[in-house]
Amino acid sequence: MTIQSPLSRREALKLIAATSSLAITAPVFASSRSRSAGALLPWSDLPTPVKGFKVIADLSTGGNTLLATHKDHAILIDTKFASYGPALLQDARTLNNDSTHLTTINTHHHGDHTGGNAFLLPHAKHSYAQHNAVPRIQSQLDQAKSEAESGPEKFANAGASEELIAFAHQAAHSLDLITKQAVTPKHTFEDSAEVEHPTTPVSLHHFGAGHTDNDLIVHFENHNIIHTGDLVFAGLHPFFFPAHGATALGWINSLQAVYKRTDKHTQIIPGHGQPGDRSLITNQINYLEQLVEQVQKQIDAGTPKETVAEMHWDFMDGLGFEQIKSRAINAVYDELSQ
């Protein structure tokens, strides 16, 4: 089954490319000081460091990627854009004592979270996604190929290391590897699943449509760490794509369900923005609730959508991704007008 979008493929690619570069100045990967020893990419400790856990959380590289390693077992959550695929595979091995035991998880289907799948999943013993993600991931092959092809030039222009550029060239010269079979996770589920890990229960949960119709969270229960995927945009306007199942009301419900699995010590890895505590979840809930409230007031007053789209409210002050603010307003306006 192929999911159709009201946008043309070209328009969708332009939109995704534009959002991937929002708020970017000098990419973090241009500085070797931000890298873990031997790694190609800018892995950092969590706010409260936990042995075996590293995260890439900068806007220049796409969605936030979490790597959990222990006893030669690596779990990699989200694979960024296609051009990062070979480098992510190399780092997953380098940071895991050169072990090839790998599990991958996609928090949802968007290309900045699944683009590297073709270069990682064939090497993974296990790979997971919520089942609604599969046809959407499979429909993005052209996007992944285009991004892989343009990767070396983008990396060079951004001042990436020669070694990282070489790995981007691997992706650009391996477009034939980007196939439906290669990008498709081996394991899918409806509501919840358990992932094999040698030291801690790792659970996956889907709470219904929110950011997309295939969001999942990854909960490392004994370590009290949750990767929320794009259910949380930390310090940023959230990205809405209604054709992919986005719903503000469902999003709020999903976040409330995530919050119930936290305590004051839980570390949250958002889909975009810096990791933090569970206040990231309450901040996202507050944003969405206020957006719904303010847009509904304007609908009730008969204000045209194009006028509402240009409005700004106090709860939006200081947030990044300003370029997609009106997109969020338009999406909520349409949802509440149904």
What pLDDT is attached to residue 35?
A: 58
The Cα 317–Cα 97 span in angstroms is 44
| 9-337 CATH, one of 3.60.15.10, 3.40.47.10, 3.20.20.70, 3.40.1800.10 | 3.60.15.10
In tens, the pLDDT along 198-210 reads 777 899 999 999 9
What pLDDT is attached to residue 71?
A: 83
What pLDDT is attached to residue 149?
A: 98
Across residues 104-125, what is the average pLDDT? 98
In tens, the pLDDT along 58-107 reads 898 999 999 999 888 999 999 999 999 999 999 999 999 998 899 999 99
Q: What angle do CA 329, 106, 115 make, to 5 degrees?
A: 80
pTM for the model stands at 0.92
Domain boundaries, the chain: 9-337
Mean pLDDT over each residue of the chain, to the nearest integer: 91
In tens, the pLDDT along 259-280 reads 999 999 999 999 999 999 999 9
In terms of Cβ atoms closer than 10 Å to its own Cβ (0-12, 13-18, 19+), residue 260 is exposed
Across residues 109-125, what is the average pLDDT? 98
Per-residue pLDDT band for 193 (boundaries 50, 70, 90) equals: very high
In sequence order, what DSSP letters do the residues of 16-72 get, joined into one string? HHHHHTTT-SS-GGG-GGGSPTT-SS--B--SS--TTEEEE--GGGSS-EEEEEETT
Q: Is the dihedral of CA 135, 321, 44, 210 positive or negative?
A: negative
In tens, the pLDDT along 139-155 reads 999 999 999 999 999 99
